[in-house]
């Protein structure tokens, strides 16, 4: 996709107002600059609309599902209305359950705890650790990284055809890679899973902030995502989907809220009757503000219109990719190739630079925040980088394993709140660093590359 003209740029929407858009940061070379937050894939800035909604509710905060007072009733209604809003946002089936969790990681660990006995799990090595690692207590088959969407479907079909056809099975797949940004063929993978009697859970952490996610259209059994990637400011997440496995499983956490009835037995023990609703897996006082912030973000994105948001993001993606393509020393990482559809997540390496050193220079000398490392997707990044380490440079990769000090990459990510100037500054900074080098000296401190003082 070529860079859009100025006329084309005017046809896409303006960036949505987010917190921190006017924050200035110091530069090691002197002066200050407005911070360019280009690490949306880790945590997106909160939408101003979400923050305002939460601030308006905060004085009315009360206990949820616990009290007869006005504020408790108000908070309970707010919490349950948030559940309905997010359910609609995800286009869930009428009998699906939606559980509020702490994050995508928490959601997938909850589902892992709810797997039926003997369940086989199939997961690509390309997954984020949140969806790669929770299945350790199940029979797990790790699938090799595919190089095309079609190959992904064929790899899954072969693996499922060889499984025990009589037991339960689950496929876990991402909607958009947190490393390459590439969209995965979720609907086709779901069809393959169901054709072989398996279920499928979608890790939508990187997909939901950028594209509409319909449980029914994609035909997935569950979907998980995090509020902090969806422009919500608090530690909350969602697991939504079929109720049967969740109802049949012991509560994820045992405690108040999950229990409907508790009674002592004559032998001194305790009998517990657990809820069969989403409350079964929401023990303790729920994070009502977190749930409300997710619902507010869902409303804000829906009202802004995903067509407009996607158009703007595609414009920014094209701008960044075209700029990087003009620098021969830059290699963009990809599984499916340059023409694959993607969200605003791009990882790359720079010839002659260690990625941690390059990211530190972007921050210290240009006020640009990106991510460096292996992005909690170690097998995927190692596959994409190969076995050859990068030039060590002045700083090593943070928290790298022995012998892999320089095996890391740089990730730039953006979304609905990113202004043009941020990506333009990033592209210009890449050009300058490659052609002129860093203007400052750097050293490794506590595993991070930092400016030397």
For the annotated catalytic residues, the residue numbers are 376
**Three-state SS at 398:** coil
Half-sphere exposure in the Cβ direction for 10 (13 Å, CA): 2
User: Please, what is the angle between helix 288-304 and helix 70-89, to 10°?
Assistant: 40
Using alpha carbons, list the distances in angstroms from residue 446 to 175, 349, 398, 443. Answer: 34, 23, 8, 10
State the greatest distance between any 2 C-alpha atoms of the chain, in Å, as a whole number.
Answer: 80
Spatial separation of the C-alpha atoms in residues 174 and 129, rounded to whole Å: 11
What is the SS3 assignment for 417? coil
Cα separation, 294 vs 89, in Å, equals 10
Neighbours of 43 (CB within 10 A): 14
Tracing tokens 């996709």 back to the chain, one arrives at 1
CA distance 118 to 139: 7
Nearest to 111 by CA among 208, 224, 274, 189: 224
Dihedral class, residue 430 (left if φ above 0, else alpha if ψ from -120 to 50, else beta): alpha
Burial (0-12, 13-18, 19+ Cβ within 10 Å), 56: exposed
Closest CA to 82 of 99, 107, 96, 94: 99
Whole-angstrom distance, CA of residue 375 vs CA of residue 40? 12
Rounded CA-CA distance 305/426 in Å is 27
């Amino acid at each position: 996709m070529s860079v859009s003209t100025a006329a084309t740029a005017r046809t896409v929407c303006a960036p949505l107002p987010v917190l921190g858009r006017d924050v200035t940061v110091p530069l090691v070379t002197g002066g200050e600059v407005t911070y360019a937050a280009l690490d949306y894939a880790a945590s997106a800035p909160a939408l101003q609309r979400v923050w305002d909604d939460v601030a308006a509710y905060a004085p009315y905060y009360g206990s949820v599902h616990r009290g007869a007072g006005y504020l408790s009733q108000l908070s309970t209604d707010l919490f349950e209305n948030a559940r309905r809003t997010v359910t609609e946002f995800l286009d869930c089936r009428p009998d699906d359950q939606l559980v509020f969790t702490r994050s995508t990681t928490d959601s997938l660990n909850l589902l892992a705890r709810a797997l039926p006995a003997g369940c086989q799990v199939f997961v690509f090595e390309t997954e984020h650790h949140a969806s790669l690692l929770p299945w350790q207590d199940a029979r797990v088959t790790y699938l090799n990284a595919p190089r095309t969407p079609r190959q992904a479907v064929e790899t899954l079909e072969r693996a499922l055809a060889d499984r025990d056809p009589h037991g339960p099975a689950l496929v876990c797949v991402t909607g958009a890679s947190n490393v390459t940004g590439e969209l995965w063929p979720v609907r086709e993978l779901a069809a393959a899973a169901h054709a072989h009697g398996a279920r499928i859970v979608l890790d939508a952490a990187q997909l939901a902030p950028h594209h509409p996610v319909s449980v029914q259209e994609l035909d997935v059994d569950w979907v998980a995502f995090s509020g902090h990637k969806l422009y919500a400011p608090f530690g909350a997440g969602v697991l939504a989907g079929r109720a049967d496995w969740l109802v049949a499983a012991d509560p994820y956490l045992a405690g108040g809220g999950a229990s409907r009835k508790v009674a002592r037995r004559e032998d001194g023990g305790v009998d517990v009757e657990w809820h069969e609703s989403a409350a079964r897996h929401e023990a303790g006082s729920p994070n009502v503000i977190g749930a409300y912030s997710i619902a507010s973000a869902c409303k804000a994105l829906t009202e802004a219109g995903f067509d407009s948001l996607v158009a703007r993001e595609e414009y920014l993606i094209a701008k960044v990719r075209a700029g990087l393509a003009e620098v021969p020393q830059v290699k963009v990482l990809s599984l499916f190739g340059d023409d694959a559809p993607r969200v605003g997540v791009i990882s790359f390496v720079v010839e002659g630079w260690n990625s941690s050193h390059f990211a530190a220079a972007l921050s210290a000398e240009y006020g640009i925040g990106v991510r460096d490392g292996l992005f909690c997707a170690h097998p995927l990044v190692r596959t994409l980088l190969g076995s050859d380490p990068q030039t060590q440079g002045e700083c090593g990769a943070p928290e790298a394993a022995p012998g892999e000090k320089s095996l890391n990459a740089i990730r730039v990510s953006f979304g609905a709140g990113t202004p043009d100037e941020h990506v333009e500054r990033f592209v210009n900074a890449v050009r300058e660093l490659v052609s002129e080098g860093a203007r400052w000296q750097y050293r490794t401190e506590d595993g991070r590359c930092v400016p030397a003082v």
